[in-house]
Structure 1
Amino acid sequence: MEAFVEGRVEQRLQAALERVRVILDATKDPQAAGDVHHQYEDKYLLVEGVTNAAVASQLNSFGALGLTLEHVQKLQERSKDKVVSFQFSAEEACSYLREETREEEAPTRQIENISIHGTLQAAFTSKVVTKITEYFWKFEAKYELVAIRGVGGTADDRLCLMTRAGQAELVTSTKQSPRPEVKKPAVNLQVDVNWLFRSLKSDKAVPGFTVDRLAKQCKTPRRNEDVQQAYNHCERVAVFAKQVSSYLSGLFQVQTAAKKSLDLAALRGDDSIFSPVLPVMVQSSQAAIEDLGPSSEALILVEAVREEAQSNVQLTIQDSNRLLEEEVRTLKQKQNDLVEAFPEEGIATRAEAFAVVSLLHVARVCSSWADAVGYVEGMLRKQLAAAIGKEVSPADFAAYMRFHYRKLFHDSFLPKPLCFSVRRSDMHSPEGTVSIEEAVVGPGGDSNINSPIVTMVASNAEPAPMTFPLNASTYVTFAGERHLHAWLSHQFSGQSGCELSLVARARQFSSMLVLIGRVSSATSFDPKYAAIIQNKDELSIPLNLSTIPSPKEFKDAIESLSPEQQAFAKAFRSMQLESTLFGVLVVQIKPQLERVLNLADDSLTKEIKLTQDLMQLFIKYQIPSDLLSFDATSGEAELLNPTAAERLARVKGHVQAMHDMLAQAKQEEIQQREQESLYDDAFANVKGRGGFRAVAGSGPPAQKGWYRSAVINIGASAPKPLADSRSMPPRPTCGAPARQGNRAKHGHAQKPESQQQQEQPVPQPAQRFPGDSVGASSATRDYTQVPVELDQRFEKLDTDHSLRPTIINPGERWRKQSQKALLASPSTSHLSKAEQKTERDAAFDLLDALTKSGALPLTHASLHAVIAATHCFDKTVTETVIQNNVNPIAKVERSSLIMASTVHQKPVQDLIKDEQVQRVTDASPQLFLENAS
């Protein structure tokens, strides 16, 4: 059958309506169903009406080939206990008859003239005669169409509907059989027609198809088990009818004995035979003027199947039977036309011609029925689009869900955009922002406009400290806020969703550290990527989403595996579940700089240049923090109670001294390289009176380590920024400016236990995150258990098994927008894997300096753990509503409540507004069961 194409169906329907208006009486105004105002129940009645018309039409068409009412009644009875099928079989045989030789003259002759001295004396005429030998063969074919019960093993199980045998003489120019000598059977086709006879009423041979509206699988007038069985039947019968007609049409190709030209165009299916299967309704449904009496020529007519059905737009039984009568009349008229075009005797006669036409009509009726039920579904789609004003896209649906959440949740638990400011407290301006943004792609979305994703957030302002490794032997402890974000994504089949990216933006003269990884335990974080964001940088990291099977799919997949195989699969799934816990750790640099330099709080807030100099010394030159910090126990003891300004002044002096030292080291390096250049060039010496005079300072090149020696000897000539010589920083002993990759060389690696011996300043008041949930517990929560809890609740409460845990991974192509100078235009670059590693190393080097190789904990840090799940629909947004008769809003609402109650550790009724409780209870009662909370 042809796929449903709305334009083609509309065109055929409009052409058929002209004939329908002629067939019906003048009181009726038949129109396409989509043009008539009707109710939803009328769509069910329309599907039932066209299906019963298709059943009657098929039986009438087979009746023209030999099926009788008695056959129908027998097959109806036999279909109750066994399968009834139509079987078409054919036998062919080709045998040698004789050989004949004949002569055939050429159509042209050749004349030869003989002349003597220019005088014609004689003329000779010649001609070409060809001797042709022809071989004659007897070709015989026999076929039959039977209805069988079961396998048709006995004669009682077989009913012959049509049979015929014929023969023809075939002529060849070689003594080679044109057809196989014995081909038995030539073709054997069979189709199950049990549904056709079971759809008849039990007490009489009339169609009685109905749709069980109360069945669990009944979704729409088109999408239900009853119509699906009818669709499977029509598809099988259409294929069978085309195959049989193709074989019979082939017999006309061997019809050569009579040597008559046949009108093979008459065998092609056309619209001359009326199809009564039409999705039409009437504006006025009045009783017919006259009823069809018993003299009807149709083998099967229709009767009412629902006495209680009340509709004033459906065709009446009399109208439907008139259309069936018209079909039978046009079939007979076509049969009479074929009598004049095809011979009565031979291998291919008028009987085969009519069989071909009838079977092609059966296939066309099946296709018309499929178009009719597809048209009903198309009406639903068009009406939904007309009601909304557009075709709903995934972007439109996501926008509605944000609006829906505002009506559903209490303000305290309302999902918030995942975009947070990085600031020390509400009294300070933000250093920047970090967000996870989505760019909606595909229809209805604009990939150039990004917006933060909306998540359900549970926050903890005073959690227990956590650690993360800088390398294999160095661990850093961090305190600060914890935020658990739960993000629910929606995925519709055939429609792309959104592209996620982690975006970190810094303001001018601001800086922060961003670490990306996984939460590996209740007390540890495992960073895989890191970057320093400063001075209007904008780093965009694409995030890739990958789903793993839902709990039900996983259990079904391992059900038939061995215990060892199941254990292996479960172990990997546990790792996959923990991988769904994506983590972003944001570290503020200024507060940590103040702490590592022993400065008072907020000392660097307005010290922009000093902060920049410190960042450069730590990142570019990797100067140990001990050389720059204020230390009252080493050379600075005269300040018994130093003020914040005095501490800051000492640090400024250390920084200036270090810059002077670096400047002198650079100058000596330049001079040393000049010396190397002069020494290597023998002709660079200047010639004097007594011969050659060497340039001052020339000599052998510096030995390896000259740069380090220069650094060590700089201290004596370095200017003193303060009057007291004790303000100078301690001199480096191993060439600190030239040190590379020194994250763990400041001393022994510090484990978290030894960090308690360090000085602990009073922590600053923690900022309040916009998505903080009311009454969040201060106890440490093991975030790695949340994926397991969600998986268990998905299995228990997600009855559709559409929720799939989702893993978030950073993509490969990072984009960084930076501003090289204050007045320069921003430039955009893409970071390769090598450049990403460079960014990570620089961030870890800075962390090494800020924490003294893990000895000093980070106090101004915030961890954001993001756990994601995807609600997967197997159809588009519109098809989910139209074909599945499912409201995706209710499905996604249930999924979001499952995630919200798990994240907030509260029952559903505490999360939603009071006026929404009853509605949600009716839609998803399992969410309110005591054992499901």
Structure 2
Amino acid sequence: MKQFELKLKKAIEKVKLVLEAEKTPQIPAQVHHSYEDKFSLVERGTCLALASLTNGLGALGLSNKHLAQLQKWAESSAVSLRFKAKETCEFLREETRDEDSPTKRVTEVQVGGVAFGSFSSKTITKVTEFFWKFEAAYELEAIRGVGAEDSDRLTLCSGTGHVELKTSTKSPPHPQSKVSANADVNITFLVKQLTGSPPIPVFKVDRLCPKCRTPRRNAQVEEAINFCSRLLPWTRTISQYLNRLRKIHPRRSSTPPGSFDLFIPALPLFTKGGSNKPSTSSDALVLLGEEGEEAKLVLSASDGNRLLGEEFRALREQRDNLIEIFPDDGSIYTWSESFRALIVQHCEHVLVQWLEMIDYVEHMLRAQLVAAIGKEVKPAEFASYMRFHYRKLFREAYQPCPCSFAIRRSDKHGPEGTISIEEEALGLQDEASIKTPICAITAVGRTPSTMTFPLNPSTTISFGGEVHLHAWLDHQFSGESASKLSLVSRARQFSSFMVLIGRVSSPTSFDPKYAALVQNKDELEIPLELSTIPTPKEFKDAIESLSPQQQEFAKAFRAMQLESTLFAVLVVQIKPQLEKLLNLSEDSLTKEIKLTQDLMQLFIKYQIPSDLLSFTTDLLPSGNASAADRLRVVKRQVQAMQDMIEAEKREELEQRRKEEEHRRLEAERQRREEEERQLQMLELQRKMEEVRQISNQSLNDMMERSCNLSASASNTFYKQAKKSSGSGFFGGMTKALTGAFTGGSSSRERCRISEAEPEMKRSSQPKLDKATPRRRLSLGGAEPTRPKPTEAATEAREPQSSKQAEQEPSQATQPRENAQPTRPGQPEALTTLEVRDYTQVPKELDEQFEKLDPDSSLRPTIINPGSTWTKRSQAALLASAHTKSLTSDEQKRERDAAFDLLDAITKSGALPLSHAELHIIVAATHCFDKTVTETVVQDNINPIAKVERSSLIMASTVHQQHASCLMNESSQVRVMADSPQLFLEDEKAESAA
């Protein structure tokens, strides 16, 4: 828009010369005006553009008579402009000529070394040239419909011409026959905007139409923009063709065309001062008509006619200049073609400026909105405002509250930790790292209900407690959400609880997919991924043309998707369940930090059965035991179990130490034997070397004694002695000695190894007769047999049947699986009716969305846990916290550990979970197609009112109350005006009464 403003400032200088001296044209953004003035600005600018285009067609050959005929055609048919052109290229002749070389060559003649004379020569080239006759013909005509009849066609202009082309080869420079251009454009919109005689452009925006949003976004302007998008490529096609003719002409290709920097009257200007005097007469085909009531700031009709007159004058001046430059000599490019190319390109510039003018008005709206707020509103900032707006909209009892809850047994107890759904604002650099709980519409279950969930194929666990239903409304602008959600669980020091994540599969069942134990300052962050499904209206429109079987399949699949929107989190407190499991009094473990930690370790790490630790009446002499006595007995049994585990650990460590010592001694023995074998081999090599030296010395002595013999005898004796040294006495002795040493040593070594092998096998075999059962104990297996068991351990090994028979009456009367609690003095049937079926909530919301959301903007949203979790834990009390990522394998280990603990503290489902809270989150997304600012500017929509209606729809469904009962009285009048469909039921009820 900055370039357009620069163009506008430059045009203002020209307008000042055209208008009266007392009138001052100004840029609209610098003038204080009303919203209606923007409509007038678009209407006046469009009328000037239509008049300018019509006058351009008049310069191409459109007359008043032609225009009247086009208006008559437009009443019942479509009117179009058709431009067609044809080219031919015909061979004329072939000419040959001699072409002298531009340089001469001088040759000197010598005879006997003496210059005799010189002569000059030059090269003459024989050139053959081919001449062609290139002829072009074009025609511009207006047609009705498809122009099938001669009466349906009007010729506006035409042109024919030829030119002689020259080539150096006999190949034609252009095709022999070609239809080079054939373009049609529908101008019905232009013709219909011209009314009366003489024709006057009348363009009006229906401001009362419900679809009229802004001066730019309405049906009339959209139709004008569509006309521009069709006419622009048509004008470019004609312009390119006429310019191509100029380049083909051998004498016109280097001549510049006419100036295209012509004045364009379609300008968005406001004027101040002066009176509207009638404009002088003009020869233009179309002018603006005088209106009775005109806007005060926009250009008046007389001022607009002055601008149109200046445009016509500039075109006529350009035509006179082109007549002098391009004479009419019957060629393919004369002043007519040059002027028509100028007119077509000027029409193209008018269309471009018209589109820029319309966008400029909308840009001005956007700039004013941003200036009023001080910045451009982001989705996160809009969400922050809606939290502020809810405090004024809803009554105090129904206001959306932060989705963050303390996990505590009662108001008298301190919290074990917190669980919350937090959002991270996206697009805000200053607040990117700050996470805050989301605001959700929350309703607490009226009557506690008993629900179940499967722990494994053979175990089902039941739980009771409050059920919280949370409805969260997300806002999505231009396809992007404003927030990134995560489920955060934080435990305090010496505290623990369990988090199970899944879906509500039926009114009385919960299906957990993930689970984790959070304890001792752990912080578990689970990212939540959001995905939307089509709105009810979109779904019905999509399946409307399907077969009954296809519709049935689609409906069944959507029903599953709707139930998948019930994201549920079950929070289980550990200490109350341990007290119930061990037959302790209430609050017995509240201050027993070490005992609680020891119990958690025994259940999680060693998987000790709870029967070995729980209190039974036979453990004390008296039948009625106090809370302290019960606690003391449990402590004694826990201590005895820990002592036994420590003893087993020490014994196992001792056994492992012995095995390690045995492996070390065996390795040492093998090392010594290897050293002995190496020493024996060295000794053997030394003895063999001594034998070789003795044999060599004997041979030398014999050779010295034989020196006194005769030559022949000496030689014979020497040969025999040398032969004997290899295979005779000394050679045989050498081999015998070598075999004796090597063979004997190897045999003795083999004997020694054979004798030691059984002993090695016996010593290397580990003694696991006692270690094996102890190892099973450390993994949670059966109890080992000890020589001197303690009294607590002996009591723990009593038969199970005797303990069950002596349990207290309170444990025997606990609720069974799938039992439905009832209020005292109230019929069971009435209580059952008050239990809400939460699986119907998504269906109810879907029906309300379809009935009360006319914009079809609310989409049910599915919440799924992310793939990678983050856990921040502290290994010891004084250790520093460290953060790690939990992938699918670590998540499975966390789930298995939590399920093992659940199995232990519920006795495999026999004991229900009494202190548990179920949080059900159902979400929906209000989707806007554009950004926050563009939604307000382009669509003329207040997103606050739209989101306000969506929140009331969700709140009325969650609380099962009418929208009027949820709002403050001060907001009802405004909401009734913005969303009357929310109050139709009240009006029907009043009329029926």
Fold shared by both chains (TM-score > 0.5)? yes
Structure 1 residue corresponding to 2:588, chosen from 603, 610, 616? 603
Return closer, same or farther for 1:718/1:459 CA change in 2, 3 Å cut-off. farther
Structure 2 residue corresponding to 1:362, chosen from 347, 353, 376? 347
Letter in 1 for 2:272: Q
Return closer, same or farther for 1:48/1:509 CA change in 2, 3 Å cut-off. same
Q: In 2, Cα distance between the equivalents of 1:445 and 1:523?
A: 45
Structure 1 residue aligned with 2:716: none
Q: In 1, Cα distance between the equivalents of 2:815 and 2:854?
A: 52
SS at match of 1:829: strand
Structure 1 residue corresponding to 2:57, chosen from 56, 59, 62? 62
Structure 2 residue aligned with 1:3: none
Structure 1 residue 332 corresponds to structure 2 residue 316: yes
Letter in 2 for 1:325: G
Q: Deviations 1:73-110 (Å, cap 9, x if unpaired)? A: 21112111100001000011111111111222232233
SS at match of 1:807: strand
CA contact (8 A) 2:290 2:302 kept: no
Q: Deviations 1:15-71 (Å, cap 9, x if unpaired)? A: 111111111111111111111111111111111100100110000111111111221
Structure 1 residue aligned with 2:767: 702
Is there any run of 5+ residues in structure 2 with no aligned partner, and where? 673-754, 801-809, 822-830
Q: In 2, Cα distance between the equivalents of 1:230 and 1:713?
A: 90
Q: In 2, Cα distance between the equivalents of 1:341 and 1:648?
A: 115
Structure 1 residue corresponding to 2:283, chosen from 297, 303, 311? 297
Structure with more helix by fraction: 2
Return closer, same or farther for 1:19/1:140 CA change in 2, 3 Å cut-off. same
Give 1:667-816 correspondences, 5 Å limit. Answer: 667-680=650-663, 681-683=665-667, 700-703=765-768, 706-708=771-773, 716=786, 720=790, 725-726=791-792, 730-731=796-797, 759=814, 779-816=834-871
Give 1:490-509 correspondences, 5 Å limit. Answer: 490-493=475-478, 495-509=480-494
Return closer, same or farther for 1:756/1:164 CA change in 2, 3 Å cut-off. farther
Structure 1 residue aligned with 2:718: none
Deviation at 1:699, TM superposition (A): 7.3
Q: In 1, Cα distance between the equivalents of 2:764 and 2:341?
A: 110
CA contact (8 A) 1:244 1:359 kept: yes
Structure 2 residue corresponding to 1:323, chosen from 307, 327, 342? 307
More moved, 82-91 vs 609-618: 609-618
CA contact (8 A) 2:444 2:466 kept: yes
Q: In 2, Cα distance between the equivalents of 1:729 and 1:901?
A: 59
Structure 2 residue aligned with 1:906: 961
Return closer, same or farther for 1:683/1:202 CA change in 2, 3 Å cut-off. same
More moved, 435-444 vs 819-828: 435-444
CA contact (8 A) 1:423 1:432 kept: yes
Return closer, same or farther for 1:374/1:444 CA change in 2, 3 Å cut-off. farther
Structure 2 residue aligned with 1:154: 149
Structure 1 residue 397 corresponds to structure 2 residue 391: no
Structure 2 residue aligned with 1:746: none
- Percent sequence identity is 53
Structure 1 residue 654 corresponds to structure 2 residue 720: no
Return closer, same or farther for 1:223/1:90 CA change in 2, 3 Å cut-off. same
CA contact (8 A) 1:192 1:236 kept: yes
Letter in 1 for 2:631: L
Structure 2 residue aligned with 1:468: 453
Letter in 2 for 1:906: Q
| Pairwise CA RMSD | 2.6
Answer with 1 or 2: which has the greater Rg.
Answer: 2
CA contact (8 A) 1:460 1:777 kept: no
Structure 1 residue aligned with 2:132: 137
Deviation at 1:238, TM superposition (A): 1.3
Structure 1 residue 48 corresponds to structure 2 residue 114: no
CA contact (8 A) 2:383 2:482 kept: no
CA contact (8 A) 2:279 2:303 kept: no
Deviation at 1:199, TM superposition (A): 0.8
Give 1:586-625 correspondences, 5 Å limit. Answer: 586-625=571-610
Letter in 2 for 1:29: T
Deviation at 1:260, TM superposition (A): 5.1
Structure 1 residue corresponding to 2:497, chosen from 502, 512, 519? 512
CA contact (8 A) 1:537 1:817 kept: yes
Structure 2 residue corresponding to 1:850, chosen from 884, 905, 918? 905
Q: In 2, Cα distance between the equivalents of 1:756 and 1:925?
A: 57
Q: In 1, Cα distance between the equivalents of 2:446 and 2:597?
A: 30
Structure 2 residue aligned with 1:22: 17
Structure 2 residue corresponding to 1:281, chosen from 261, 266, 270? 270
Structure 2 residue aligned with 1:83: 78
SS at match of 2:200: coil
SS at match of 2:66: helix
The normalised TM-score by structure 1 is 0.90
More moved, 792-801 vs 329-338: 329-338
CA contact (8 A) 1:758 1:855 kept: no
Structure 1 residue 73 corresponds to structure 2 residue 68: yes
Structure 1 residue aligned with 2:714: none
Q: In 2, Cα distance between the equivalents of 1:805 and 1:564?
A: 24
Structure 1 residue 866 corresponds to structure 2 residue 852: no
Structure 2 residue aligned with 1:630: 615
Structure 2 residue aligned with 1:241: 235
CA contact (8 A) 2:640 2:793 kept: no
Deviation at 1:121, TM superposition (A): 2.2
Q: In 2, Cα distance between the equivalents of 1:777 and 1:44?
A: 62
CA contact (8 A) 1:285 1:314 kept: no
CA contact (8 A) 1:460 1:778 kept: no
Structure 2 residue aligned with 1:424: 409
Return closer, same or farther for 1:671/1:166 CA change in 2, 3 Å cut-off. same
SS at match of 1:601: coil
Letter in 2 for 1:834: D
CA contact (8 A) 2:637 2:792 kept: no
SS at match of 1:642: coil
Structure 1 residue corresponding to 2:222, chosen from 219, 223, 228? 228
Q: In 2, Cα distance between the equivalents of 1:756 and 1:254?
A: 107
Q: Deviations 1:332-351 (Å, cap 9, x if unpaired)? A: 12222323333422112221
Deviation at 1:814, TM superposition (A): 0.8
Deviation at 1:254, TM superposition (A): 1.2
Q: In 1, Cα distance between the equivalents of 2:911 and 2:61?
A: 97
Q: Deviations 1:419-465 (Å, cap 9, x if unpaired)? A: 11111111111111111111111257733111111110110263210
CA contact (8 A) 1:57 1:365 kept: yes
Q: In 1, Cα distance between the equivalents of 2:11 and 2:584?
A: 91
Deviation at 1:678, TM superposition (A): 4.2
Deviation at 1:826, TM superposition (A): 1.5
Structure 2 residue aligned with 1:34: 29
Q: Deviations 1:860-919 (Å, cap 9, x if unpaired)? A: 110010000111111111111111111111111111111100000001111001121121
> Aligned residue pairs: how many?
874
The normalised TM-score by structure 2 is 0.85
Letter in 1 for 2:33: H
CA contact (8 A) 2:581 2:905 kept: yes
CA contact (8 A) 2:479 2:927 kept: no
Deviation at 1:701, TM superposition (A): 1.4
Structure 2 residue aligned with 1:458: 443
Return closer, same or farther for 1:443/1:726 CA change in 2, 3 Å cut-off. closer
Letter in 2 for 1:924: S
Letter in 1 for 2:945: A
Structure 1 residue corresponding to 2:648, chosen from 646, 665, 679? 665
Structure 1 residue aligned with 2:974: 919
Return closer, same or farther for 1:427/1:285 CA change in 2, 3 Å cut-off. farther
Return closer, same or farther for 1:354/1:914 CA change in 2, 3 Å cut-off. same
Q: In 2, Cα distance between the equivalents of 1:838 and 1:507?
A: 22
SS at match of 1:187: strand
Q: In 1, Cα distance between the equivalents of 2:555 and 2:639?
A: 60
Structure 1 residue aligned with 2:707: none
Return closer, same or farther for 1:871/1:444 CA change in 2, 3 Å cut-off. farther
Letter in 2 for 1:516: I
